Structure 1
Amino acid sequence: MSKTIRVLVCDDHLIVRQGIRQILSDAEDIAVVSEAGNGPEAIRQVRELAQGEGSIDVVLLDIAMPQRDGLDMLKQFKNEFPKLPVLILSTYPDRQYAVFSLRLGAAGYLNKSADSEQMIAAIRKVARGGVFITPSVAELLASSVGAGPDHNEQPIQERLSHREHQVYRMLSQGQSVGEIATQLSLSPNTVSTYRSRILEKTGVRNDVELALYAVRQSSGST
């Protein structure tokens, strides 16, 4: 039996929190373990629940929380708990905050208009260490990511070794270092070394930008 994904829901509207609970109750592998209705409460809950036995696996964070801005809290969470996935929820158009949220370290960005299957899929993906982005957000990111220094000089296949290209392809699909290590029968440290080389050679800064770099490459922008 797979491990239950423990989720903290941070939203100032009770009806939204109840709705999310109802949606996630349909997923046997996901459990809402706590809720927060304002910024300070969200910070307290994360600090209490992000470590030790029974710790949370994912934070669902509304971008417009009272008493403390959601993006400000995102920065704090990533500073204090860099490995804790934070999935941003928003009612705003993707164009306003999606790219900024992901650059601050969010593991994904989901509009509250998304259907229940998409929310469940997003939680599962970020809990595994992946990055969740919708096609519309992918387009925004693709247009915002600057080309690396070698972008116009050589195709990506010519700049990476065979193994680096394997890791590049898997990272760009949202797979975590641990998942890649298992599939390629490598240690996580070795995969992390390949990842660092890939980021350097492509001129991007993180896995989100790498995924969008791959989108640009596959669309024939080399």
Structure 2
Amino acid sequence: MSDAAQPTAAEVRAAAEAVKTALDRHLAAVERRSGEDDPAVYEAFNQLAAAAEVYDELLYDRYDEVTPFEIPGTDDSLPPYTGPEEPNALSVLIRRDYAVAEPQRLLAQAQRVEAAEDEGTGTEASGTIHGALGILFGEFEADEIASRHKEFGLEEGDSTLWVIASDEAPEPGEWLEAPFDQVDPQRVVCRFDVSAVFDDEIDEDIDDEPDDTEDEIEDAIEDEDLEPLDADR
């Protein structure tokens, strides 16, 4: 960045003051919170995160310094909640991804279901993957398939659950043609995500830690003047 484009000291100080103000607002919202998912706290959190990000950038551009703060998930967070404070209805949106890891197991399970029904139709829908999926998801609840996915030859992928507040329940059949087209993220009360990405992050943190166990054992042997045990003893 050129010197001409650098922020002024006054701009950096103004950004710092904005962080202080956002901190006060966040604390006040926490002190007045009405529940675990209070939208006022959520909004104050996002405002604090945004103010801290601006300050961090200006501080770096002006003084080549950074802050020790890191606000997780600000880029992927939902927008501030603008739905009803006392919802009269709610919608639960669930998405679960699976990979067909063992097609033969999937087909075998569908054939068992088809044979048990024995409707005598002469059709064999279970002979194809898409037909087998239709049979299994028609026979079992989605939650049961989620808990028994390995039995059906499936491998879990990402999943997410969104709870969306509404002023009133929709009319029967109102959204069936396009159930996910009119989702307003600002009415999401809460969401829960499951992904192998999170597990990978934990594994990376563990892998980054030095494994000093072997070195510690060797040091202990040297300190105590001990000899490793003979395997033949």
TM-score of Structure 1 vs Structure 2, range by shorter chain: under 0.3
Alignment TM-score, normalising by the size of structure 2 = 0.21
Higher RCO structure, 1 or 2 (CA under 8 Å, sep 6+): 2
Structure showing greater radius of gyration is: 2
